[in-house]
Amino acid sequence: MKELLLKNMELLEDLSNLKKKVNRLEEAETTKLRAILDNLPFGIALIDEDGNFTYINPKFKDMFGYELRDIPNGRTWFRKAYPNDTYRHNVIATWKEDLEVFKENHVTGERKSWTFTVTCKDGDKKLINFIPVMLVTGEHLLTCEDVTEKTNLETQLRQAQKAEAIGTLAGGIAHDFNNILTALMGYATLLKDKMDKQNPLQRYVDLILSASQKATDLTRGLLAFSRKQPLNLTPLNVNSAIKETKKLLKRILTEDIEFSVSLTKDDAVVMADRSQIDQILFNLVTNARDAMPNGGELSIKTSITVLDNNFAEKHGFGKSCRYVLISISDTGIGMDEETKEKIFDPFFTTKEVGKGTGLGLATVYAIVKKHNGYITVDSKPNKGTTFNIYLPSIDVIVENKEGTIKTPMKGQETILVAEDNYEVRCLIREILEQSGYRAIEAIDGEDAIDKFKKNNDVKLVIIDSVMPKKNGHKVYEEIKKIRPHIKTLFISGHTKDVILKKGIESRKFNFIAKPLKVNDFLVKVREVLDGSL
């Protein structure tokens, strides 16, 4: 009996030691599991069968800002995470539908993911991917991944791909479209010059020119949006540019809109393309006018500012340096948050069909970005809108020069015109001959070289940059071999990137872009002939 008792005591001691070992192993496993859960890069929540939150990991707290005491159960979580009643009901309905499938089929393990917009404790909204897992205990393990940034990057990528596609399309149509506009605007200008100012048909010609200019602006808008519009950066006094454009901006506005301009006394000089800065002003003023159908107030202001870390934290961008700030404000209908998020998207418009292209603000955004600047918008429904444009300031003094229109001088020289488009070629010949020049036409690159060899009196060769048989640069090289000092002027309706591939660069050669304007073209011809270029 004594021996049996001793054996039982030894057995109990062994069992006690074994239990201690098991407990230590369980504690170690629990500690290990807790360490894993606490250090996971995504949020974890454990929910019991009654819908109570029993555990949330640190990442969950960081992601949403809620402590366990803030969300003791699912009911509280849904109310806080989805404050909008309609959205909350949709989320709950989705949860219930899938959870019923879990219970009915006794399915455990990972199920399909859900993606919802969650309102955090601080009011911030995040796009969260949820993956619920039903455990054998009946509990639910919920993993949460913040996909806000990922989704935004995917959206930006799609936007970039869309921009690239539009850019390719715009570049493809630019050449043909600019040829058409050159002929249309050129012949309309010649017709206008031959008509008496009192002729009632003058109004029709003016309307043709006005419509043609709008078509030109639309093409430039597409190219600016696609970032293929040639950019000519020079020191520009923003205040002077606004002063010179003010009269034209007034013509855009209706009489019931009060227009004011307030310019800083500081030097507001930036590196910019003047024509594209004008386009920003025209687009934003037009947008403001349309936002005030019953009249209102429009103001343009300039100032000097330095962006700090607070700006970068608020907007997510902004290099700290000195900027010229252009603020364009209106008292119009304003925009809600949803509209504000889309206004810079290409082809997005709140206007009626036929009233807008949806490229105005997308073009503005693209131009600002090309100038290494930033643009923000402040707006509320029925409270008006303010666009703030930040352009990097430079320390250069720019002389204020009033814009003057040069009057082209006539000439008698012989000019060879190498242009494959029939309408444009005939127009250029007509313009030159009416100004006293003798024009010789060439229909392609090889024809241009042949005509040049046969006419020793040619003083200037006007060359289309892209032509059949031989492109403009090859023609240029051939005629230079024959007469090294021959003067040349390149013209093109292609975008600058195409021209550069053909070996033509506007800073290296005399160049003028299509669509050609009669006055500007004749001035350029005279300047090249006189050697001032």
pLDDT in tens, 330-349: 998 888 777 777 777 655 55
Q: Please tell me the distance from the alpha carbon of residue 105 to that of residue 114, in angstroms, as a whole number.
A: 20
Provide the pLDDT confidence category of residue 313 given band limits of 50, 70 and 90.
low
Q: What is the pLDDT of residue 402?
A: 47
Read off the pTM.
0.49
Q: What is the Cα–Cα distance from 143 to 363, expressed in whole angstroms? A: 42
Alpha helices in 237-307 (DSSP H): 238-252, 274-290
402 or 88, which is more confident: 88
Tokens for 8?
A: 């039982």
Three-state secondary structure call for residue 196: coil
Query: For residue 353, what pLDDT is reported?
Result: 40
Cα-trace Rg, the chain: 35
Span of 14-23, 246-255, 490-499, 516-525 with lowest mean pLDDT: 14-23
- Averaged over 394-418, what is the pLDDT? 71
pLDDT of residue 21: 62
pLDDT of residue 97: 76
> What is d(CA 175, CA 16) in angstroms, rounded to the nearest whole number?
91
Helices 360-370, 202-225: inter-axial angle, 10-degree rounding:
50
What does each C-alpha distance from 383 to 216, 333, 352 come to in angstroms? 34, 7, 21
Instruction: Tell whether omega for the bond before 515 is within 30 degrees of 0, i.e. cis.
Output: yes
Could you say which architecture CATH assigns to the domain 40-146? 2-Layer Sandwich (3.30)
pLDDT at position 22 is 58
Alpha-carbon span 517 to 182, nearest angstrom? 7
The pLDDT mean for the chain works out to 79
User: Between residues 159 and 377, which one has the greater pLDDT?
Assistant: 377
What is the C-alpha separation between 383 and 396, in angstroms, rounded? 38
What is the identity of the amino acid at 2? K
Indicate the DSSP class of residue 407. Answer: P
User: Percent of the chain beyond pLDDT 90?
Assistant: 14
* More confidently predicted of 471 and 19: 471
CATH architecture of the domain with residue range 414-530? 3-Layer(aba) Sandwich (3.40)
Residues 394-412, mean pLDDT to the nearest whole number: 65
Distance CA 76, CA 108 (A): 25
Among 137-151, 365-379, 399-413, the range scoring the smallest mean pLDDT is 399-413
* Domain definitions of the chain by residue range: 1-37, 40-146, 232-404, 414-530
Whether 437 shows a pLDDT value over 90: the answer reads yes
DSSP E strands, 48-108: 53-56
pLDDT, position 462? 93
Percent of the chain with pLDDT over 70: 73
Inter-residue contact 235 to 396 (CB < 8 Å): yes
Max CA distance (Å), the chain: 139
Q: Residue 413: which of 509, 517, 525, 523 has the closest Cα?
A: 525
232-404: CATH superfamily: Histidine kinase-like ATPase, C-terminal domain (3.30.565.10)
